[in-house]
Amino acid sequence: MEKLISRFFKIPNATSLPVYLAEGGYEAAKLALRNRKPEEIEGEVKRSHLRGLGGAGFSCGVKWSFVPRDTGKPIYLVVNADEGEPGTFKDKYILTYVPHLLIEGMIIASYAVGIHKAFIYIRGEYEMPYLKLKEAVGEAYQKGFLGENIFGTKFDLDIVIHRGAGAYICGEETGLLESLEGKKGFPRLKPPFPAVVGLFGCPTVINNVETLSYLPFIVQRGSEWFAKLGTERNGGMRLFSVSGHVKRPGIYELPMGILLRSIIYEHAGGISEDRKLKAVVPGGLSAAVLTADEIDVKMDFDSLKAVGSMGGSGGVIVMDETTSMVDALRVTMQFFAHESCGQCSPCREGTGWIDRILKRIVAGKGRADDVDHLLDIGKYLGGTTICALADGAQMTFLSYLKKFRKEFEDFIRNSSLRANAGWSSGGRPLGLPAPDGRSGTVSEAISGIASAGRLKAPSSQ
């Protein structure tokens, strides 16, 4: 199948401008600026059904259309390159291997909406991607692709790169804006939405790196072609970041409607050491976990929503039969407790409370009423806060407890039996398959994401 973005990952030195140009780079932007009207591009993007690939899945073109053009204030473009969703490392590949594609997408988006100043908020840990991006922006300025009179037209665009300082919450778009303004990354109350009141109080478009990187293809080949690559209302393809217990973890660019089963067993080569699949997180850590029986689902936003999970950031975390779901959930909730910004009471206190309960359970001190209790706390964690962090935490949390309830109950019962017998309490539950010499399998999968800063050779094909 034809690759779009990931084609460049295989081209040696595609990060440099000459190579990118030789591959047809910036042709789409030239075409847009010279031969298209801004509103034509907006319409084209709407019809392409390009969705926000940072996680929210909102229609990109519709998002643009919310921006008021007549306020007398400047409109800003903010690129969300704060890729922090555990299990997701696609933007890092774009930034590192083909940063000009993002810049080209930014030029197109800016032209379409009437933007002359753009900010790229890049995750602080992304040292190499930052250096590559910075170099590329410099090259683009030198060539006249950025700055004044781009491609000899009357269109101007400046790009500022801003490095984050490591908080997950600064990937939430309004937390990001606060951080970009120099404040603490506290998500804002909505409404007003950033399209109307965004960066420095001005109308602002916030798009994810990958979303913008698909724009050149849409401009060149048209919305119809792009929309057809995907499913209904879920246009095109997306980059799936596959990690965990698969034979070939990595980035896979596949059509929106691909089956999860196909990603795991065909593209990623199946479960490592041919063990059995136990569970998959389909869209980054905030997405509800799916059991092995639920993988015949299309990976577009609407299909995943229909099964109670979400497409999210496209981070697919695969867990095999040796995984302790108790341990996996503990690591997951530790993450959310650590990253909750602390603004809203339910999220601040709820994630931390759940984290401490899970740690107690894993330490072998679980109580018979813990599961019911956790389920009840979980009910009030989400749907009650300023941003979606708690919603995501709730979704994933409740899915583990509901789908693997028996495992949690067995774990607690066994550890209390063990404690009564005077045995020391260990982290692993009895009655589960031996961990096969591997320990902390899911912690590993998830912390593997944290170490995703170390780039491996891309294994997309």
Partner 1 sequence: MPTLKIDGKEITVEKGTTIIRAAEQLGVEIPHYCYHPGLSIAGNCRMCLVEVEKMPKPQIACHIQCLDGMVVHTQTKSVQKLREHILEFLLVNHPLDCPVCDQAGECRLQDYYMKHGLYDSRLNENKVKKSAKAVPIGPTIMLDSERCILCSRCVRFTDEISKTGEFGIFNRGDHSEIGIYPGRELDNKYSGNVADICPVGALTDRDFRFKCRVWYLAKTESICPGCARGCNITVEANLERPHHANGERIMRLKPRFNGEVNDWWMCDAGRYGYKFIDHDRLLEPLIRNQGTVQTTGWNDIVEEVIKSLKGVLKKSKDELAVLVSPEMTNEELYLAKKLFVKELGLERVLLLRTKADGDQDDLLIRSDKHPNRKGAEWIGFEESKRAIQEVIDQGLKGGLKGLILFGQDLAALYPGRNVEDLLQRLDVSVFVGSNHNLTSEHVQFILPAATYAEKNGTFTNFQGRVQRIREAIPPAGQSKAESEILTLFADHLKLDWSYENEEQIFDSLRRSVPQFQGMNYSKIGREGVPVE
Which spans of this chain sit near partner 1 (rule: CB under 8 A)?
Answer: 167, 169, 184, 189, 337-346, 348-353, 356-357, 360, 367, 373, 377, 379-380, 383-386
Burial class (CB within 10 angstroms; exposed 0-12, middle 13-18, buried 19+) of 384? middle
Question: Which residue type sits at 298?
Answer: K
Q: Cβ 66 to partner 1, closest distance in Å?
A: 18
Which string of DSSP letters, residue by residue, matches 173-190? HHHHHHHHTTS--PPPPS
Contact indicator for 360, 371 with CB cutoff of 8 Å: no
The nearest distance, CB 303 to partner 1, in angstroms, is 20
Nearer to partner 1, 183 or 276 (CB): 183
Nearer to partner 1 by Cβ, of 84 and 448: the residue is 84
In angstroms, give the least distance from the CB of 380 to partner 1: 4
Structure tokens at 284: 């980054």
C-beta closer to partner 1: residue 227 or 388? 388
Coil vs helix vs strand at 317 = strand
Sheet with 117-122, edge to edge strand ranges: 158-163, 117-122, 76-81, 204-208
Q: Cα(110)–Cα(76) distance, rounded to whole angstroms?
A: 8
Nearer Cβ to partner 1 (185/255): 185
> CB-wise, 50 or 344, nearer to partner 1?
344
Length of the chain, please? 461
Burial of 228 (0-12, 13-18, 19+ CB in 10 A): middle
Find the shortest distance in angstroms from Cβ 285 to partner 1. Answer: 16
The owner of tokens 């298209």 is 36
Residue 42 or 82: which CB sits closer to partner 1? 82
**In the complex, minimum distance from the CB of residue 350 to partner 1, in angstroms, rounded to a whole number:** 5
Indicate the residue among 223 and 286 with the shorter CB distance to partner 1: 286
Q: Please, what is the minimum distance in Å from the beta carbon of residue 178 to partner 1?
A: 12
- The two three-digit tokens of residue 2, written as one number: 């034809």
Q: Which is nearer to partner 1, 280 or 377 (CB)?
A: 377
- Contact call for residues 282 and 304 (beta carbons, < 8 A): yes
Shortest distance (Å) from residue 57 CB to partner 1: 16
Structure tokens at 114: 């009437």
At residue 382's C-alpha, the angle toward residues 66 and 345, to 5°, is: 100
Nearer to partner 1 among residue 106 and residue 386 (C-beta): 386
Count CA atoms closer than 13 A to 314's CA, side-chain side: 28
CB 176, min distance to partner 1, A: 15
* CB 352 to partner 1: min, Å: 3
Distance CA 322, CA 441 (A): 8
Closest to 338 in 3D by CA, of 389, 414, 304: 389
Tell me the two tokens of residue 439: 């320990």
